[in-house]
Copies of this chain bind each other. A is one copy, B any other.
Amino acid sequence: MDYCIAISEDNKFSCKNSSLATVEDFTFSGIKSAGNFKATGFTSMGVNSNVFPGLNTLGVSFVRADFDVGGVNVPHFHPRATEVAIVLEGKIYSGFVDTKNKIFAKVLEKGEVMVFPRGLVHFQMNVGDVPATIFGSFDSQNPGLMKIPNVVFGSEIKDELLEKAFGLNSKELSKLKKRFSPS
C-alpha cells in the first residue's frame, strides 16, 4: 500500500480506509513554535507515528528541539534510527561517540547539518548567546529515545550493580538517583 494511516483501538491496529484519507493526514502543524524549557534549558517534541498517524509504515519521523542559552540535550540515543539534524537558529555544540569510544563533536551554526549514525550516543548544548533550535529527522517511524541519565539513574536498576559499574559509593549514587527519580 502507498500508506496506512494508523488507527489503534484496544491495542489492535488497522489502517484508515484510504477513501477517507485527506491531506490533513499527511501534514503536521504542531511544531511551529517551541515548548516550555525544562530545568536543563531544553525542550523537544518528537513526532513519531503515535503522534502523527500518517507516518505509519512510511519509515520516517522527526523532532523539533529548542535550547535556551546554555541549554543541554543530555547524552541519549535512538535505538532504531539514524538522525539528520539541521540547526535552524543559534550555535550548537553537537557530537556523538562511536563504539570505539571516539568522540566526534563541534559547534554548528545556522544551516549546518550533522548526522548521528544509528544507535550511537549523542548530545548537544547551546553555546551561543541566544536561544537555538534544531530540526531532526529519522529513518524510522518510531525511533525510540533513551536518555542516559534517566535510564541509568531513574529506572531502579539494583544499587549494588550501579555502584560497581560507575565506581560510586552509596551516598553518591543516592544523590544521582534522587535527581532522576521519575516522581
Interface residues of A (CB under 8 A from B): 1-3, 7, 10-18, 21-29, 31-33, 40-41, 47, 52, 54-55, 58-62, 70, 72, 74-75, 77-80, 82-84, 86, 88, 93, 95-106, 108-121, 123, 125, 135, 137, 139, 142, 144-146, 148-158, 160-162, 164-167, 172, 175-176, 179, 182
Contact = CB atoms under 8 A, between A and B. Distances in A.
A59 B81 CA distance: 9
Contacts of A96: 26
Contact of A14 (B12, B97, B100, B142): B12
A11 B11 contact: no
Given A27-B108, A120-B146, A144-B2, A97 B155 contact: yes
A113 B74 CA distance: 26
Nearest to A2: B98
28 contacts: A2-B144, A10-B14, A11-B14, A11-B16, A13-B15, A21-B102, A28-B115, A29-B111, A32-B112, A41-B164, A58-B117, A60-B83, A60-B84, A60-B115, A62-B137, A72-B164, A74-B165, A75-B162, A97-B146, A99-B144, A101-B155, A105-B157, A123-B157, A123-B161, A125-B158, A125-B164, A149-B167, A167-B176
